[in-house]
Amino acid sequence: MIQTDTWFSSGAVLPNGTLVQTGGYNDGDRNIRNGNLFIFANTRSIYLDYNQNRVLKVFPRIPGDDPRNYPSTGSSVLLPLDESKAVIEPEIMVCGGAPRASYTQATQGNFIRAISTCGRLKVLDPNPSWTMEDMPLARVMGDMILLPNGDMLIINGAESGTAGWELGRDPVTQPIIYRPSTDVSNWRFAIMSPSTRPRMYHSSAILLPDGRILVSGSNPHVNYNFINVEYPTDLSMESFSPPYLSLEYDRIKPRILSVDENIGYGGKLFSLSFQLQVYLTANALEVNIVAPSFATHSFSMNQRMVSLKIVGVTNLSPSTYGLTVAGPSTAEIAPPGYYLLFAVHAHVPSQGMWVKIE
């Protein structure tokens, strides 16, 4: 039983499979490579050894010094971890929010434009510092969702005001896809087609096994209010389909035929087979596992993606291929539990398959 009452706290699954709960009003905590916790609140962040209850490092404030937590609600993700690299570098990304005094101003009817910047921080760097980037659209109350091909989606929210009852204005209906990899020859941010529905305070988003994003809700009112208000309560659900679901990519989309349902640690090998109409190259293949998140108030707790190391590729028959893949190295990289596993080819993911990491 939780010993202390908390309001909008956040949580993370630990390497031993238990859940740690911290803070309130949606501070963000992430279980990092060596099992310690990264905790971010408004502008400040720390690295915490939760076993010893000891702060190991205090990170620089995020540039701009504008708050990123409720009611100036931004969002954050732990960017994908890559097991094929010699050294895994955990990196946090924080996007959006609202400038200081926005909440007070909004209660007085003055709705200040939201923050348009994102910050990236390599947590284990000997001298960590924030790298800042500009989104094409300012956003508060946005949701950041890791896509199965390693890209990241920013969806929902408003361009002005803050979180809270009646305090958001100018809905941002256009999702943004961000490509975090170093290969950004084509683009870094891409604006997607808009939704017809505002998704304001109390909206949410989550990844589905087929690669779509399920978006639901919106209620900026104390009670349900469906009529005679600027942004009515919306209990509907809709799905967003990223570009990789376009029919034009169907020929290079893998279709998993079989995969081991239980995957062990220590790089233990497992097998996966898939079909593919047009095979490009082994370098275009990835196997990614995504932990299911539990989301509220623009923060997807437990969200994590690990790109596993592919050891071998075999042509089993025409259009059918087999992969030998190494499981996660440690529980610090991928805490135990269920994950969606995706085979990815040329940035196009398969349907996800549920596997258990143990």
Confidence of residue 104 (pLDDT cuts 50, 70, 90): very high
Quote the pLDDT of residue 229: 93
H/E stretch holding 103 reads: helix 102-107
Tell whether the model's pLDDT for residue 68 goes beyond 80: yes
Quote the pLDDT of residue 273: 97
Inter-residue contact 135 to 118 (CB < 8 Å): yes
The pairing of strands 353-357 and 262-263 is parallel
Confidence of residue 184 (pLDDT cuts 50, 70, 90): low
In tens, the pLDDT along 108-122 reads 999 999 999 999 999
Quote the pLDDT of residue 102: 97
Tell whether the model's pLDDT for residue 33 goes beyond 90: no
Tell whether the model's pLDDT for residue 91 goes beyond 70: yes
Quote the pLDDT of residue 300: 84
When mean pLDDT is compared across 16-20, 98-102, 172-176, the lowest value belongs to 16-20
Report the percentage of the chain scoring pLDDT > 70.
92
Average pLDDT of every residue of the chain? 91
- Range with the largest mean pLDDT of 178-182, 186-190, 223-227: 223-227
In tens, the pLDDT along 276-307 reads 999 999 999 999 999 998 888 888 888 999 99
Quote the pLDDT of residue 182: 64
Once rounded to an integer, what is the mean pLDDT over residues 41-59?
A: 92
Of residues 21 and 140, more confidence is placed in 140
Once rounded to an integer, what is the mean pLDDT over residues 185-210?
A: 91
Report the percentage of the chain scoring pLDDT > 90.
80
In angstroms, the CA 358 to CA 264 distance is 5
Tell whether the model's pLDDT for residue 354 goes beyond 80: yes
In tens, the pLDDT along 214-261 reads 999 999 999 999 999 999 999 999 999 999 999 999 999 999 999 999
Quote the pLDDT of residue 14: 78
The pairing of strands 189-191 and 176-178 is antiparallel
In DSSP notation, 200-248 reads -TT-EEEE-TTS-EEEE----SSS---SSSSS-----EEEE--GGGSGG
Quote the pLDDT of residue 262: 97
SS3 283: helix
Domains of the chain: 61-244 (2.130.10.80), 249-357 (2.60.40.10)
Tell whether the model's pLDDT for residue 187 goes beyond 80: no
Residues 6+ apart with CB under 8 A from 154: 75, 95, 96, 135, 139, 142, 143, 144, 175, 176, 177, 178
Tell whether the model's pLDDT for residue 135 goes beyond 80: yes
When mean pLDDT is compared across 11-20, 23-32, 97-106, 311-320, the lowest value belongs to 23-32
**Other beta carbons less than 10 A from residue 291's beta carbon:** 21
Confidence of residue 15 (pLDDT cuts 50, 70, 90): confident
